[in-house]
C-alpha cells in the first residue's frame, strides 16, 4: 500500500472516531496511512469520503492522498507505526472500562515487528500505557521495549464542533519510553502540526496532563453550577454576577452548564480510580462530578416549580427542547445531559418535542418524546434552549420567540440569548 513511494513509513491509526479520523487525514497528506476500524459500517462510509461525525469535509478527505481505510486486520502487517485512538469509557459503576483499549492493544501486538513505534492517544489514567498495555504487547509480540520497539503516549485535545482549535493548530504533548523514541515521535507530529510540540518528561506525566485538563474544567464548571444554585436561592442572576466578576483580570471565565459527553464527564473518574488505588480518597474531584451529574434533575425541579407558580395546567403543558447533543455544533449525543433532562421531563409530562439541527435521522428515546426534523411552527408553554448551537444564534431570538405561548417559560441554559435580551 505504498501510495507515497518516497515514504517508507506506514502509519496505522487504530479507531477512526472523533480523534482517530482527523489524525489519519492529517498524516495521510504526507505519509502512507492505514485507517483501521473494527466497525465495517464506519469503514464503508469513510471509503466514500463521508464522515457521519461531521468533523471532516469531502475536501479534506481529498487532500489526504495517501490514506486507505480498512477493517481487515491483515492490512496492519505492513505498518510500522501504530497510533491507538479507541474509546476509553467508564462502566455503569463509573470505573475505567479498558476493554476496547486492551482489544486494540492485542491487535497491534499481533502485527508489530522490530523497530515499530506504538503511540497511544486514548485518554487513560496515569500508568495505563506502561502497566496495562506494555505487558500485553511484550507477551503477544515476544518483542522487548526499547530494544525492539518504542512506546509513546500523546494525548489528544480535539474538541468536536470546534473549527478553530483543530489538530494541526494546537500544541501537542508527546512522550516516549526512551530518548530515541521521544525524538522520533516529536519529529513525526512536528511534520503535521504547525505550533509547538511539547515533550513531557515521561509517559505517566503525559497521561496525567491529559486527565487533569478535563478534571480542572469539570471542577470549574461544578463550582459555577453550585454558585448558580446559591444565587438562585438568593434571587440574584448568576450571569449578571459573572459579568461583573469577570472584570477582574484573574477571574476565570467559566459558566454554569450541563457537562456530558465522553471526556469531561468521564476522565475525572479515571483519575479518581487511580488515586483510590494509590490510597488517596479524592474529595473535590468526585464532589464536582456529583454536582455536575445532578444538574439535569436540578433544572427539572426548577422548571416544575415555575410551571406550578405560573399555574399552567400540568396535563396540557407542552415542552420544546432545543438541542440534544452533549455540546454545541456537533452531532454526538453520547452521555448528553440535555437528553437526560428530556427523559426526566418526559416521565412527568406528556407533550415533549425535541429539535436539534445536528440530528438528521429519526431519534427515538421513548414514546412520550416527539423528535422534530425541522424547527416547528407550533407554540409552547415551556421552551428549553439546552445547547448553544450556532444554528440557534443564526435563526435569532426573534424566531424562538415566535414559538412561545403567552407566559411561556423560557430556559436559556447556556445563556445563548439571555445576556443580550
Ligand atoms: N472525542 C473527543 O472529543 C476526545 C478528545 C480528546 C480525547 N479523546 C479520547 O480519545 C479516545 C477516542 O475517542 P473518540 O471520541 O475518538 O471515540 P469514538 O467513539 O468517536 O471512536 C472510536 C472508534 O474506535 C473504533 N474502535 C473501537 N475498538 C476498536 C478496536 N479494537 N480496533 C479498531 N477500532 C476500534 C470504533 O469503532 C470507533 O469508530 C478516547 O480515549 C477519548 O477519551 C476524545
Centre of ligand 1 to C-alpha 144, Å, is 27
Side-chain half-sphere exposure of 90, counting CA atoms within 13 A: 21
Residue 1: predicted pLDDT: 61
Low-confidence ranges of the chain (pLDDT < 70): 1-2, 418-421
Q: Is 18 in the pocket of ligand 1 (CB under 6 A)?
A: yes
Helices (H), ranges, 234-336: 238-245, 267-277, 284-293, 295-309
pLDDT in tens, 282-324: 999 999 999 999 999 999 999 999 888 888 777 788 999 999 9
pLDDT computed for residue 4 by the predictor:
72
- Placement of cell 454558585 in the chain: 227
C-alpha cell at 111: 502485527
CA of 253 to the centre of ligand 1 (A): 29
Report the atom number in ligand 1 closest to the C-alpha of 86. Answer: 24
What is the model's pLDDT at position 421? 39
Q: Report pLDDT for 396.
A: 87
Q: Dump pLDDT digits (tens) for 11-60.
A: 999 999 999 999 999 999 999 999 999 999 999 999 999 999 989 999 99
Does residue 295 line the site of ligand 1, with CB under 6 A? Answer: no
Helix axes 295-309, 203-233, angle to 10 degrees: 20
Report the residue among 50, 53, 71, 86 best suited for mutation to probe ligand 1: largest number of ligand atoms under 8 A from its CB. Answer: 86
Q: Is the CB of 128 under 6 A from ligand 1?
A: no
Residue in this structure with the C-alpha cell 399555574, named with its chain if needed: 311
Distance CA(369)–CA(249), nearest Å, equals 45
Question: What phi and psi values does residue 197 have, to the nearest 5 degrees?
Answer: -105, 130
Kindly state the cell numbers that stand for 359.
Answer: 440530528
Active site residue 330: no
C-alpha cell at 16: 477512526
Catalytic residue among 79, 263, 330, 342: 263
What distance in Å separates the CA atoms of residue 46 and residue 58, rounded to the nearest whole number? Answer: 10
Secondary structure of residue 198 in the 3-state scheme: strand
Q: Which three cell numbers stand for residue 104?
A: 486494540
Return the C-alpha cell found at 225.
453550577
- What CA–CA distance (Å, rounded) separates 4 from 11? 12
From the list 203, 116, 113, the residue with the least C-alpha distance to 155 is 203
Q: Report the SS3 class of residue 108.
A: helix
Ligand 1 atom nearest to CA at 334? 19
Angle at 202 between CA 160 and CA 117, to 5 degrees: 70
Best residue among 262, 270, 330 to mutate for probing ligand 1's pocket (most ligand atoms within 8 Å of CB) is 262
Q: Do β-strands 149-153 and 172-176 pair in parallel, antiparallel, or remain unpaired?
A: antiparallel
Q: Does the beta carbon of 260 sit less than 6 angstroms from any atom of ligand 1?
A: no
Task: Evaluate whether 268 touches 212 at the Cβ level (below 8 Å).
Answer: no
Residue 153 makes CB contacts below 8 A (sequence gap 6+) with 119, 120, 121, 129, 174, 175, 176, 203, 206, 207
The verdict on pTM exceeding 0.85 is yes
**Rounded percentage of the chain residues whose pLDDT exceeds 70:** 98
Q: For CA atoms 339, 344, 347, 350, give the dihedral sign.
A: negative
Query: Measured from the CB, is residue 16 less than 6 Å from ligand 1?
Result: yes
Residue 8: the pLDDT is 81
* Displacement of CA 298 from its chain's centroid (Å): 23
Helix (H, G, I), strand (E, B) or coil at 294: coil
Nearest CA to ligand 1 atom 1: 18
Note whether 270 and 215 are within 8 A (CB): no
Amino acid at each position: 500500500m505504498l501510495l507515497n513511494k518516497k515514504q517508507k513509513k506506514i502509519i496505522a491509526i487504530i479507531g477512526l472516531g472523533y480523534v482517530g479520523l482527523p489524525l489519519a487525514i492529517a498524516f495521510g497528506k504526507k505519509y502512507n496511512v492505514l485507517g483501521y476500524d473494527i466497525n465495517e459500517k464506519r469503514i464503508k462510509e469513510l471509503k466514500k469520503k463521508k464522515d457521519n461525525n461531521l468533523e471532516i469535509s469531502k475536501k479534506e478527505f481529498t487532500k489526504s492522498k495517501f490514506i486507505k481505510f480498512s477493517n481487515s486486520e491483515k492490512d496492519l502487517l505492513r505498518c510500522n507505526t501504530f497510533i491507538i485512538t479507541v474509546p476509553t469509557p467508564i462502566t455503569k459503576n463509573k470505573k475505567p472500562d479498558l476493554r476496547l483499549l486492551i482489544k486494540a492493544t492485542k491487535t497491534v501486538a499481533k502485527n508489530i515487528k522490530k523497530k515499530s513505534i506504538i503511540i497511544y492517544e486514548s485518554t487513560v489514567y496515569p500508568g495505563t500505557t506502561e502497566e496495562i498495555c506494555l505487558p500485553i504487547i511484550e507477551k503477544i509480540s515476544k518483542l522487548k521495549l526499547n530494544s525492539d520497539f518504542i512506546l509513546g503516549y500523546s494525548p489528544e485535545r480535539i474538541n468536536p464542533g470546534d473549527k478553530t482549535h483543530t489538530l494541526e493548530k494546537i500544541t501537542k504533548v508527546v512522550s516516549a519510553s526512551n530518548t530515541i523514541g521521544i525524538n522520533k515521535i516529536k519529529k513525526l507530529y512536528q511534520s503535521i502540526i504547525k505550533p509547538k510540540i511539547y515533550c513531557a518528561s515521561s509517559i505517566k506525566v503525559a497521561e496525567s496532563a491529559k486527565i487533569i485538563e478535563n478534571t480542572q474544567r469539570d471542577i470549574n464548571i461544578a463550582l459555577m453550577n453550585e454558585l448558580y444554585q446559591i444565587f438562585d436561592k438568593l434571587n440574584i442572576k448568576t450571569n449578571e454576577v459573572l459579568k461583573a466578576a469577570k472584570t477582574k483580570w484573574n477571574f476565570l471565565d467559566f459558566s454554569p452548564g450541563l457537562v456530558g459527553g465522553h471526556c469531561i464527564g468521564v476522565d475525572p473518574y479515571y483519575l479518581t480510580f487511580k488515586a483510590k488505588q494509590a490510597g488517596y480518597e479524592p474529595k473535590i474531584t468526585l464532589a464536582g462530578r456529583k454536582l455536575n451529574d445532578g444538574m439535569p434533575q436540578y433544572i427539572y425541579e426548577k422548571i416544575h416549580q415555575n410551571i406550578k407558580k405560573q399555574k399552567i395546567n400540568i396535563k396540557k403543558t407542552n415542552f420544546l427542547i432545543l438541542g440534544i447533543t452533549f455540546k454545541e455544533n456537533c452531532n454526538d449525543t453520547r452521555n448528553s445531559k440535555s437528553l437526560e433532562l428530556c427523559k426526566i421531563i418526559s416521565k412527568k409530562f406528556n407533550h415533549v418535542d425535541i429539535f436539534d439541527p445536528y440530528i438528521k435521522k429519526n431519534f427515538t428515546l421513548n414514546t412520550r418524546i416527539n423528535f422534530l426534523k425541522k424547527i416547528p411552527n407550533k407554540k409552547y408553554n415551556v421552551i428549553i434552549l439546552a445547547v448553544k448551537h450556532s444554528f440557534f444564534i443564526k435563526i435569532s431570538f426573534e424566531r424562538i420567540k415566535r414559538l412561545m405561548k403567552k407566559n411561556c417559560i423560557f430556559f436559556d441554559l447556556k445563556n445563548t440569548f439571555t445576556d443580550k435580551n
